[in-house]
Structure 1
Amino acid sequence: MFGVRQHCQAILAQQPAGRLLALDILRGLAIMAMVLVNNPGSWQYIYAPLRHAEWHGWTVTDLIFPAFIIMVGMSIQLSLRQKVAQTKLEVIKAGALRALKLYLLGLFLVLFYYNFRDPAYSYLQQKLLTVRWFGVLQRIALVYFCTLLIVLYCGTRARVLWLVGLCVVYLALMQYMPYQDAQGQQFVGLWQFGNNFAAWLDHQILGAQHVFFRSATPFAFDPEGLLSTLPAISSCLLGVVLAQLLQSDQPLAFKIRLLALAGVAMVWIAELAHPLLPINKMLWTPTFVLLSTGYTALLLAVILWLTEIKRYRLWGAPLVVFGVNAILFFMLAGVAARILSMLPVAGTTLGNSLFREVFQPLFGNYNGSLAFALCFLAIAYLGMLALYRRGFIFKV
């Protein structure tokens, strides 16, 4: 027990200067959860809370990615004080470069795959010519840069108008913009899987072979698609507003109470509005923006209370290891997962072989799948800890 305490103290002592501990812990928790749910032993055996909602509604897993988007907004606002010596043009150039790097990293993860088990597999035909243009890192890139521009040129009131306005434009297009399928049948105001204005837009602009749900009918679409980027920017702007609250001169206890009250209010409004405007992560509906921001604010309030009011900090040390290097962790975990799914072993892949030969016999179907994910996470922690101890921080 003493060794664990020393280990955690050493981690916190090495945390880079000028960083908000609660934010690093929250970011670490989000990226850890993202990697955990993305790497089960088998996609056939996953406990319900670790799955995304099939369409309308939500699970705990659905709250992970928007929490990260909200923290992107918080980081933009908190980092502005470090850029006072830079002109707006310099900040924009640096932001554009960062966004481009994030997009290209996401594209790399999409393309980093080869089916070694299929002798007829064509990388050109089945990967390069059908590349998925959008994804997690690609969305972060677009949302980050758009939010940065708004923050640089707008005050608090204008930022609030932007986040509301983007949701209003999104709702107007989803509800009132007519569209039609290949047979000429016209639709308007639908919110169905594969049949809504956002799906039609993805199908027309990105192409049916360049999105995640390619077999959806009548329109192939992407859960990180074009139109849903608008309310995703609203989520990021809400993160900016939360960071402004933390930067205010109000007492910390007041800030925590306000975070908690705002969180409860947003969740309550989202749930009340759900029958009229469904909570839906794939569409990133405004009710989903409210719900996910509400729970993120509540969690941040709890972490701030524990770390700054009660001074209980050691528990968050392992999460800091993930939080200060979140993008690197996501990238390395993605590469490792793809290697496990590519390497052929006894007629299957290395990942499937490990699950079937080790984890499934020992723990059963669902527990074995979860144990595989936890083992993946534990090994990843050791790797990230080694980098953290050497002071390596990956900056995009």
Structure 2
Amino acid sequence: MEKQKRLLSVDALRGFDMLLISGGGAFLVRLKGTTGLPWIDWIARQLTHPAWNGFTFYDFIFPLFLFTAGIALSYSIQSGISRGINKKELYRKAFRRMLILIVLGILDKNIPLNVFDPAQIRYGTVLGRIGLATFITTLLYLNLSSRQRLYWVAGILIAYCAALFLIPVPGYGAGDLSFEGNLVGWFDRTFMPGRLLQKTYDENALLTQMPAHCLTVLGAFAGDMLQKQKPGYKKLLELSIAGIASIALGLLWSSFFPLNKHLWTSSFILLTAGMAFLFLALFYWITDVHGYRKWAFFFKVIGMNSLVIYLGIRFIDFDYSSKLLFGGWYMHVAEKWQPACNALGALILVWLLLYFLYRKKIFINPHCRKSSVKC
């Protein structure tokens, strides 16, 4: 029972993350300029990505998911070890999961998929990145100690920073972090097959995988913290210290290696990892230390089927369905409010679909066989 309580924090946190992807973000963005409230407009601006350098809250969404994937992976691997599953079998499951996510990612980003024109297929995807990150983290988790994994993260982030500053790019030289002249873009153009997202660059391609998987490694480290036989307040303290330290290091590093999601800079990794530690601490403090659990149900329903809704919003037009079902109601409000009302209706439909799956005990999660509570 105690294990289930701890994992509610993770399900709720993942659900909060997916809420912004599955309609919550669109609702807030469409409120911009309609209320006359500056703080609403500020929130809406936080839900768009910067053009290049800089940071908004929306940049945190994908890193947070990679982090929570690491938490779930920690529980899943520990559960497998306790059931006597050997390393070979754990490797096999992680590899199979990686292949499934890579294939689903390619389908997601290339619909309709033209299999006869591979040069126009985009291979760098969000789901593929999650699959690769969880596979690498599994290998590290099963062969290195917690301290050694932290050394690995430090080594990767330092090496990545050094590479971008020291390796010259043909025509631009070394240390060019512009969109046109950075090492990541040149590496993608030279070695990545298929179509790149920005034609000459793709933030989910090859080289950025190295710093990105560090978030999942750090997430597994957080999962280990939660599984320790310690009082809740001590776990909360450890998570908070890790978060504050990571944010401080990230901000310090950003003084010469800018925060940049497109490049997945080392400073960006540390900042978002620190934020993830603190968000996990907050959710853990509310649901587990203080025992306020009912509020988390809304997020839990989303978090337990995150893969379903990520693909669902790609293949199901919830906006159109919302217009059909709720248009007769919100057509009577001022026109400037109607886009936000439609987005809210779409969000309601998304949640009801996930609630139906929850009631039927249908949980499709890339990290667990049944659900993140029972993995």
Q: Normalised by the shorter chain, which TM-score bucket?
A: 0.7 to 0.9
2:121 is aligned with 1:136: no
Out of 227, 231, 234, which is 1:247 matched to? 227
Query: 1: distance between equivalents of 2:52 and 2:356?
Result: 40
Query: 2: distance between equivalents of 1:235 and 1:221?
Result: 22
Query: 1: distance between equivalents of 2:276 and 2:29?
Result: 29
Task: State the AA in 2 paired with 1:103.
Answer: I
Report Cα offsets for 1:127-172 as digits up to 9, x if no partner: 7541111111011011111111111111112111111111122112
Aligned to 1:387: 357
Task: State the AA in 1 paired with 2:75.
Answer: L
How much has 1:107 moved relative to structure 2? Answer: 1.1
Out of 240, 256, 259, which is 1:260 matched to? 240
Task: State the AA in 2 paired with 1:156.
Answer: S
Matches within 5 A, 1:118-197: 129-180=119-170, 185-197=171-183
Aligned to 1:34: 21
Q: SS of the counterpart of 1:212? A: coil
How much has 1:368 moved relative to structure 2? Answer: 4.5
Query: 1: distance between equivalents of 2:307 and 2:338?
Result: 28
Instruction: Name the count of aligned residue pairs.
Output: 350
% same residue = 27
Contact map agreement 2:124 2:204 (CA 8 A) in 1? yes
Indicate how the Cα distance of structure 1 residues 360 and 257 shifts in structure 2: closer, same or farther if over 3 A, else same: farther
How much has 1:113 moved relative to structure 2? Answer: 3.9
Query: 1: distance between equivalents of 2:281 and 2:145?
Result: 25
Indicate how the Cα distance of structure 1 residues 50 and 173 shifts in structure 2: closer, same or farther if over 3 A, else same: same
Query: 1: distance between equivalents of 2:273 and 2:239?
Result: 10
Indicate how the Cα distance of structure 1 residues 309 and 334 shifts in structure 2: closer, same or farther if over 3 A, else same: same
Out of 199, 202, 208, which is 1:222 matched to? 202
Contact map agreement 1:147 1:237 (CA 8 A) in 2? yes
Matches within 5 A, 1:305-324: 305-324=285-304
Indicate how the Cα distance of structure 1 residues 169 and 368 shifts in structure 2: closer, same or farther if over 3 A, else same: farther
Aligned to 1:210: 195
How much has 1:352 moved relative to structure 2? Answer: 12
Indicate how the Cα distance of structure 1 residues 17 and 276 shifts in structure 2: closer, same or farther if over 3 A, else same: closer
Q: SS of the counterpart of 2:314? A: helix
Query: 1: distance between equivalents of 2:339 and 2:309?
Result: 21
Aligned to 1:271: 251
How much has 1:299 moved relative to structure 2? Answer: 1.1
Aligned to 2:348: 378
Q: SS of the counterpart of 1:187? A: coil
How much has 1:17 moved relative to structure 2? Answer: 5.6
Query: 2: distance between equivalents of 1:230 and 1:373?
Result: 36
Query: 2: distance between equivalents of 1:296 and 1:41?
Result: 22
Aligned to 1:291: 271
2:235 is aligned with 1:235: no
The gaps in structure 2 that reach 5 residues or longer are 33-40, 367-375
Aligned to 1:106: 105
Task: State the AA in 1 paired with 2:64.
Answer: A
Structure 2-normalised TM-score? 0.85
Aligned to 1:95: 94
Aligned to 2:369: none
Query: 2: distance between equivalents of 1:134 and 1:361?
Result: 44
The ranges of structure 1 where at least 4 consecutive aligned residues each deviate by more than 6 angstroms after the TM superposition are 40-43, 351-354, 357-361
Task: State the AA in 2 paired with 1:242.
Answer: A
Contact map agreement 1:39 1:376 (CA 8 A) in 2? no
Indicate how the Cα distance of structure 1 residues 363 and 52 shifts in structure 2: closer, same or farther if over 3 A, else same: farther
Contact map agreement 1:112 1:335 (CA 8 A) in 2? no
Contact map agreement 2:98 2:131 (CA 8 A) in 1? yes
Out of 306, 320, 326, which is 1:326 matched to? 306
Report Cα offsets for 1:206-254 as digits up to 9, x if no partner: 25x611111xxxxx11121211111111111111111111122222101
Indicate how the Cα distance of structure 1 residues 287 and 353 shifts in structure 2: closer, same or farther if over 3 A, else same: same
Contact map agreement 2:22 2:350 (CA 8 A) in 1? no
Structure 1-normalised TM-score? 0.80
Q: Say which is worse superposed, 312-321 or 18-27, in terms of deviation.
A: 18-27
Query: 2: distance between equivalents of 1:213 and 1:360?
Result: 38
Query: 2: distance between equivalents of 1:294 and 1:372?
Result: 35
How much has 1:57 moved relative to structure 2? Answer: 1.2
Report Cα offsets for 1:361-385 as digits up to 9, x if no partner: 94555x5444433322211101110
Task: State the AA in 1 paired with 2:347.
Answer: L
Report Cα offsets for 1:40-70 as digits up to 9, x if no partner: 7999x79311101211111111111101101
Matches within 5 A, 1:298-377: 298-337=278-317, 362=333, 364=335, 368-377=338-347
Report Cα offsets for 1:256-291 as digits up to 9, x if no partner: 122123222322332233221111111111111111
Note the aligned Cα RMSD (angstroms). Answer: 2.9
Q: Say which is worse superposed, 164-173 or 133-142, in terms of deviation.
A: 164-173
Matches within 5 A, 1:42-53: 47-53=44-50
Query: 2: distance between equivalents of 1:196 and 1:108?
Result: 29
Query: 2: distance between equivalents of 1:360 and 1:129?
Result: 45
